[in-house]
Chain A
Amino acid sequence: MARIGVFVCHCGENISRTVDCSGVAKALADHPGVAVSMDYKYMCSDPGQNLVKQAIEEHALTGVVVAACSPHMHEKTFRRAASQAGLNPFVVEMANVREQCSWVHEAGPATDAKAIDIVRTIVEKVKNNAPLETVRIPLTKRALVIGGGIAGIQAALDIADGGAEVVLVEKEPSIGGHMSQLSETFPTLDCSQCILTPRMVEVYQHPRITLYTHSEIEAVDGYIGNFHVTVRKKARSVDERLCTGCGDCQAACPNRKIPSEFDAELGTRPAIYVPFPQAVPNIPVLDRENCTLFKGRAKGREKDLCGKCKEACLRSAIDYEQQDELIDEKVGAIVIATGFKLYTIGREQPEGLSGYPEYNYGEIPDVISGLQFERLASASGPTGGRIVRPSDGTVPKRVVFLQCIGSRDPEKGISYCSKICCMYAAKHTMLYRHKVHDGQATVFYMDIRTAGKGYEEFVRRAIEEDGADYIRGRVSRMYRDGDTVKVVGYDTLAGEPAILDADMVVLCTAIRPHKGNKNLGRKLSVTYDQYGFISSAHPKLRPVETTTAGVFVAGACMSPSDIPDSIASASAAASKVLGMFSGDELEREPTVAIVNERTCIGCFNCEKVCPYGAIEHIDVCNRDNEICGHVARVLPGVCQGCGTCVATCPSKSVELQGFTDEQIFAEINALLTW
């Protein structure tokens, strides 16, 4: 026979102002199975919790219902108290008479009646509650970091410095990401590479970091604490153990006119190349698509057309026959730090976006992107830091910067603000004026958004000290006018047209997610937003967690972020990982689904609908111990207790612990009966 205790909380006046709390307690005292019922001003206070503990002992209660606030507030508090009094915590439930009653109704008999109904339904539920045990999961104290930009580097170093091993996977031949392409960084104007490259070297030399560059995530299996990751290490055509990074192969390559990705296509590189001098690792990669030898082989030539790099290599490190390698790694936590890419204004656009025909789709050579400007301004760039026009190599005397290209432009497919452009446009005007003293920098903007430490001061400095002209308005059209670019804009503050002749135009293009995010999201059961940015588990309270337990997120793959933001979120993700690694096992709430393996028909509808990949197949054997079929099993470490499988199961073989059919029907019955 159930012996339930009911504890009605006044919540100061939050509940008692509109609900007759002692009346509710009295009404419940007569309810079948209720052994004790009382009310108190603050049930969550120490004296209140003691009332609950005493009652459990005195009345040998089998279940507890606290009529108070939402379970999100204090369920844990009362379950802990009950546990201290020797009761299984999972027979304690909250009846929410605050958010769902006192806060949303006027005082009166109907409100009291509703409060009583709410408490009764929970009492009936608790009668059916089973004592549950916390789920314990083994834990591999090793983390995978996907992406070797500044966010991935920071997360990897923080986790490794905290004592755990890290596997860092980077798609490109070198780590460093976009930050390595920047000339100087705002708001301090310190050299980007000077602050980044020591961190890159630290990663390379760290005893607890395993680095895979030119590699991608092939597959991910398992669940929190126990992920199995397959890494595809793409063929570099260079034996990393033999290569010393001397650069002889690069110098020997005859195919030197390939647009350099690192220089945003303003410079060129050979087919075998190290992307930039400070690359980590300093080992070249052979771009097979552009290599004469491989192009010949692809066309079926029997005799190789080239082989200059192999001839030049004194260490015999060049290996044309090298294949992609698949490497298995076991990790307990994953940090996604895949970074961003930039919107391009060209005619060809990915699905959902469109270009800028009114700006001639960027087909004017002296209209460049912000990243290209970074390369022009960078000492390591194709011009050695001289700011010149791509068309004729002359120094531009009038440079116009257009902000919000793609950003805040729903017509082109992007509604959001890219956040960093206001700052880098201001930085560009400074870099330009510091190099071209008689040059005029003009910025077309819509709003200046610079909320960050020292940011507003930085933009004011660009305007007040370095003389950048700021014009509020979007540009309507650009076209080539002889040697110059005609920029047709409007100054909305002056109420006058602003039609400028520019020698060069810099487009501050929007930040976009990598298209690979969606694929990666599917592999990890992580959700992404409408644009393809990885979603946080909660935008405010759980910013670096994802919807999958054990998978964290950092940097610009979540939303447009500058360097300080990326580093902050990377360190936050690292601290989450280290927190998870602080025990020897993981504990999870037992509100997970379980499959009745006797009645399961093996249709695996549950597997199709499970958003978390928590369903596994298990073999069913006959008496002779031969496999005769398969049924589903829920991995308790992965299941998030959403209940979708329960609703889908045609044979009613799945139940969600803590929310079983009996419990739900008991609640409904309570409403219909009393």
Chain B
Amino acid sequence: MESSTLHSNEDDIASAVVRHQEAHGAPHVPASSVRMSLIDEVYARSGVNVRTCYQCGKCSAGCPMMGEMAVRPHVVMHLVQRNQRAEALSCDGIWLCLSCETCSARCPKSADPARVIDTLREMATETNPGLAPRAIGAFNKTFLDQIRSKGRMSEVGLAMQFNLRSGRLLQDATSMPALVSRGKLKINPPSMRDIDDVRRIFANVEAATRDARSKGGYR
């Protein structure tokens, strides 16, 4: 396996899921959100009818991350078809997905696995943020916090915050000087003038989402 110091403190996502489940029991799914079957909820959120999937496996065959996933794209689709909510929202496949869209581009049934996986990630984040493996959850959270506070992403800030959150204190640290010497890292990148404008979008989206969910809608 890769042994370079740059990525030695790798988090094993599959075992992270297991660890999480051992620590917290089965994934917690609030009763209020179980008002329709998983397949119908995925449809309501994404417009994708997972019933069209006939399990040919072409998505998994072309998936670049297939070898690293325990639950592969066509199995994710199957879990949705079987209404296995807890399993679908906690499987490693949805977090290892790169959103490269190869599966959806080649799907003979237009069943759009990439969109389904994206939707499952969104649902998992809403249901229980702890469902995301630590590294990936940390990355997404750090990224969004950055945008909320600065309006733009600063790579130095992102990397430092991310390493703190994910517990990989030294990842990429050795490459910092190289990046600086190439003029690629600005410690204080130019920020936006009207950051409040972006913060209002976050607030409005949160309000709209809360409002929609309380009315039983997903869009």
Contact = CB atoms under 8 A, between A and B. Distances in A.
Interface of A: 358, 404, 408-412, 446, 472-477, 488-492, 495, 497-498
A495 B60 CA distance: 9
What 7 pairs across the A-B complex have the smallest Cβ distances? A476-B62, A490-B61, A476-B61, A473-B57, A474-B58, A492-B57, A474-B56
B106 interface: yes
A409 B109 CA distance: 7
A473 B56 contact: yes
Interface in B156-195: none
A412 B108 contact: yes
15 contacts: A404-B56, A408-B108, A472-B57, A473-B60, A474-B58, A475-B58, A476-B59, A477-B61, A490-B58, A490-B61, A491-B57, A492-B60, A492-B74, A497-B61, A497-B66
A491 B55 CA distance: 11
A474 B53 CA distance: 13
Contact of A474 (B61, B66, B75, B102): B61
A497 B67 contact: yes
A358 B61 CA distance: 12
A409 to B, nearest CB: 4
A404 B55 CA distance: 14
A358 B106 contact: yes
A410 B110 contact: yes
Contacts of B67: 497
B202 interface: no
B4 to A, nearest CB: 26
Contacts of A497: 60-61, 66-67
Given A411-B109, A490-B60, A497-B60, 15 more contacts: A404-B56, A409-B108, A410-B109, A412-B108, A472-B57, A473-B56, A473-B61, A474-B56, A476-B58, A477-B62, A488-B62, A490-B74, A491-B57, A492-B57, A492-B74
A408 B107 CA distance: 12
B70 to A, nearest CB: 9
Contacts of B106: 358, 476-477
Contacts of B59: 476
B16 to A, nearest CB: 21
Contacts of A446: 54, 56
Contacts of A495: 72, 75
A246 to B, nearest CB: 51
Given A409-B108, A497-B66, A497-B67, A473 B58 contact: yes
A476 B106 CA distance: 7
A492 B110 contact: no
A507 to B, nearest CB: 14
A492 B55 contact: yes
B64 to A, nearest CB: 10
B109 A474 contact: no
Given A358-B106, A409-B108, A411-B110, A492 B62 contact: no
B12 to A, nearest CB: 19
A260 to B, nearest CB: 32
B107 A475 contact: no
Interface residue SS majority, chain B: helix
Interface in B87-116: 102, 106-110
A348 B211 CA distance: 50
Contacts of A358: 62, 106
A475 B57 CA distance: 8
Interface residue SS majority, chain A: mixed
A446 B55 CA distance: 8
Contacts of A490: 57-58, 60-61, 66, 72, 74
A492 B72 CA distance: 10
B110 A488 contact: no
A476 B75 CA distance: 16
A406 to B, nearest CB: 10
Contacts of B107: 411
Nearest to A356: B106
Contacts of A411: 107-110
Contacts of A408: 54, 108
B82 to A, nearest CB: 15
Contacts of A472: 57
Contacts of A410: 108-110
B108 A498 contact: no
A263 B72 CA distance: 42
Nearest to A493: B57
A474 B72 contact: no
Nearest to B73: A490
| Residue in A412, A476, A495 with the greatest tally of chain B CB atoms within 10 Å | A476
Contacts of A409: 108
A410 B57 CA distance: 16
A477 B59 CA distance: 10
A492 B54 CA distance: 12
B189 to A, nearest CB: 40
A474 B110 contact: no
A491 B61 CA distance: 8
A491 B107 CA distance: 16
A358 B59 CA distance: 12
Contacts of A491: 57
Nearest to A490: B61
B66 to A, nearest CB: 6
A206 B75 CA distance: 60
A601 B160 CA distance: 88
A342 B82 CA distance: 37
Contacts of A476: 58-59, 61-62, 102, 106
Nearest to A408: B108
A475 B164 CA distance: 42
A490 B59 CA distance: 9
A490 B66 CA distance: 10
| Residue in B61, B67, B72 with the greatest tally of chain A CB atoms within 10 Å | B61
A472 B74 CA distance: 13
Contacts of B75: 495
Nearest to B62: A476
B110 to A, nearest CB: 6
B113 to A, nearest CB: 12
| Residue in A411, A477, A490 with the greatest tally of chain B CB atoms within 10 Å | A490
A490 B67 CA distance: 11
Nearest to B60: A490
A497 B64 CA distance: 11
Nearest to B102: A476
B61 A498 contact: yes
Contacts of A492: 55-57, 60, 74
Contacts of B57: 472-474, 489-492
Nearest to B71: A495
Contact of B108 (A473, A474, A489): A474
Interface in B39-92: 54-62, 66-67, 72, 74-75
Contacts of A404: 56
B15 to A, nearest CB: 19
A474 to B, nearest CB: 4
Contacts of B58: 473-476, 490
A488 to B, nearest CB: 6
Nearest to A412: B108
Interface string B129-141: 0000000000000
| Residue in A408, A412, A474, A489 with the greatest tally of chain B CB atoms within 10 Å | A474
A174 to B, nearest CB: 37
A408 to B, nearest CB: 7
B61 A488 contact: yes
B110 A489 contact: no
